[in-house]
Structure formats: structure tokens, C-alpha cells
Amino acid sequence: MPETSLPVTLEGHSLAALADAICGRTLPPVDQWHPEHCGDSQMVIHRDGRWTHRGEAIDREAMIRLFSTVLRREPDGSFVLVTPAERLVITVESTPFRATAMTSEGAAQDRRIALQIDRADALIVGPAHPLTLVDTPNGPSPRVLVRGGLEAELSRPPYYELAEIALAEAADPPGVWSDGAFFTLGESDQ
């Protein structure tokens, strides 16, 4: 069955229109589902964003997007695909999502930054979607909170755009404003 609700994207939207489109979206209430049946989905979300099942690529974008809507992070940090009837463990090598592009409007404290998230709707960086820099075994990982403990790692292009803004504005510490909040781009203590 084809997807009837296409993702909200940056393309062709002002940030005000994007915010309205995002507010109009609803996702399954995965935080309210606590089924007893648990198994292993044998699925992996790879560091580069590829999804596989039993080692084979999942190529249907609509299927991946559907799975991403029922993805939940558990209190112990693990990830599951959850429905009212079952809960299946899924392996996530880094983060379940990637931020692949960005746009911004305004400057300094009046700026709003939007990020395009693969497998999810675009979002506006701010108090509900903060930017962080997490130290990982692979080095610092710039991330944004998508929802419910699920993060997107920023790909290089949007991260470099953020770094250019931070350098141009010369804040101390280096960082960017979005939606009324300031986010440092230096290493965190996480």
C-alpha cells in the first residue's frame, strides 16, 4: 500500500509554513504501547543510514519510513520497533536518523534553523529539538533530538553550514541561535 502521508520536507517551504506543516503531523503513540511479546527484528540501521534485514538491504523508502514511525528508544538505551501487539529489538549502529540538509532564516537571536531528517519529517532546531555534540569512539558526533530520545546525526554539509554561521557571528563559546535558544558547537560533557 502506498504511503498516503508524504514526509514534510524543507523544499519549497518558508520556516513558518514548515512549522505549520510539522504541527499538523501525528505519529503512532509508541510511548503508550507496552506489549509483552518481544523478539528480534533482525534489522539493522547502519551508521550511514542504510536499513537491512538479515543482511539484505531494505530498499523500499515507504517501508523504511513506516518502520521509523514505530521506532522507540527504551530506557536502557536500546531500540525497538513497537506496535500494540509486539515489540521487536532493532540494532542501531549510531543514530536512527541523519540530518541531511538545512536552511535558516533570520540572524543571531532571531534565527530559526530547519533540518531535513532522512526517514522523518523536517524539524526546527530549538528547545524541543536541541543540537548537541556527543563524544563517541568515532569522534565528536553532532546530533539533534528528533523525538522521544531518537536522535539524528548531522551529515557534513549541514554541520559545516552551522559552523560557518557560528564563525561568522563569533559567539563565545562558538555556537548558533535557533528558535530562541543558543546551542554551542563545542564538545559536550556527554
Interatomic CA distance for residues 60 and 101, integer angstroms: 21
pTM > 0.75: yes or no: yes
The DSSP result for 53-66, as a single string, is ETTEE---HHHHHH
Considering the four listed CATH numbers 1.10.10.10, 3.40.50.620, 3.10.540.10, 1.20.58.100, the one that applies to the domain covering 26-92 is 3.10.540.10
Interatomic CA distance for residues 173 and 183, integer angstroms: 9
Please give the chain's pLDDT, 190 residues, in tens. Answer: 345 566 777 777 787 877 887 777 788 999 999 998 789 999 999 999 999 999 999 999 989 999 999 999 999 999 999 999 999 999 999 999 999 999 999 999 999 999 999 988 899 999 999 999 999 888 889 999 999 999 999 999 999 999 999 999 888 889 999 999 999 987 544 4
Report CA-CA distances (Å) from 57 to 52, 70, 120: 4, 19, 19
Interatomic CA distance for residues 178 and 112, integer angstroms: 4
Interatomic CA distance for residues 160 and 99, integer angstroms: 12
Architecture of the domain whose range is 97-184? Roll (2.30)
